[in-house]
Structure 1
């Protein structure tokens, strides 16, 4: 995906540096708005990357760190794209088996994952700092659950100057 300047940006501060995510309200307006609202509330600050699978993705956005938590806001209707693909750096909305259960959790792809195309909501793309995502502590086993996980120090909306 190429950078599209009119779309909102999020800045994620990790212990290793800053990551910039460009939201894609053209693909997922509800999910993009949700990430902005929760970021503005400070919801993601100090939350862990609780599930991280080598060669696949890093998942965060759950304040409980269990993979079952979310915000107090209602779950979102699925916004599956027929054209956008899960590539390296793609940000998707995590959900349960119910397609309409995304809430606050999201994941960032380490590698392409064609099996997710059309099955999960694509909400954005890392456009700067992917090298910091690459350093996130990996979990163990096929579940990718992380002991003593790396955390998002701060996730904020980038304001125009």
Structure 2
């Protein structure tokens, strides 16, 4: 009899867990790359303002066809310049990486969450409060970024596709004929 109760409890715990995941589906971002989908678990508890801005930009299609304009082997792949990085609408190779979006810059939300392989962080200028739309995905651990850049999420599937993003050849990782985020949607698609 006890075994039945334990099995029943486990069943409801698993079913309940699945329901909780379905309710939080909007805390994921799916990026379609040329080689396959990348799913990022966003961290609204760590960086609520940054996550809200990313979700707003993704929901409105702003990230679709945006280039990975700066990619440094063994470090990270940077994208998200919706102003100059849209490869189908106004792409400017000389300025990609210098723009943002029509939304305001965001105050830094630094945390103790470490930069590890698959961590997603917000790009910014020298001003810690200048993050807007650009973000980067870490290829490897980057402890020197800890507490200096806002962590917004982590890759939970598709890191093998991130690893295939075309690397830059310029001194700052600039990419000629870069890969792009084909489609970016909120949720696990």
The question of whether the paired residues in 2 share the 8 Å contact of 1:53 and 1:142 is answered with no
Q: Any gaps of 5 or more consecutive residues in structure 1? A: none
Equivalent of 1:107 in 136, 141, 148: 136
Kindly indicate whether residue 38 of structure 2 is the aligned counterpart of residue 19 of structure 1: yes
**Equivalent residue for 1:80?**
110
Q: Which has the higher helix share?
A: 2
> What is the CA distance between 1:110 and its match in structure 2?
0.1
Scaled by the length of structure 2, the TM-score of the pair is 0.80
**Equivalent residue for 2:172?**
143
Count of residue pairs the alignment pairs up: 156
Alpha carbon RMSD of aligned pairs, Å?
1.5
1-side partners of 2:106 and 2:169: how far apart?
Answer: 29
Q: Any gaps of 5 or more consecutive residues in structure 2? A: 1-19, 86-95
Structure-to-structure mapping, 1:1-161, within 5 angstroms = 5=21, 6=24, 8-63=27-82, 64-65=84-85, 66-81=96-111, 83-158=112-187
The question of whether the paired residues in 2 share the 8 Å contact of 1:24 and 1:124 is answered with yes
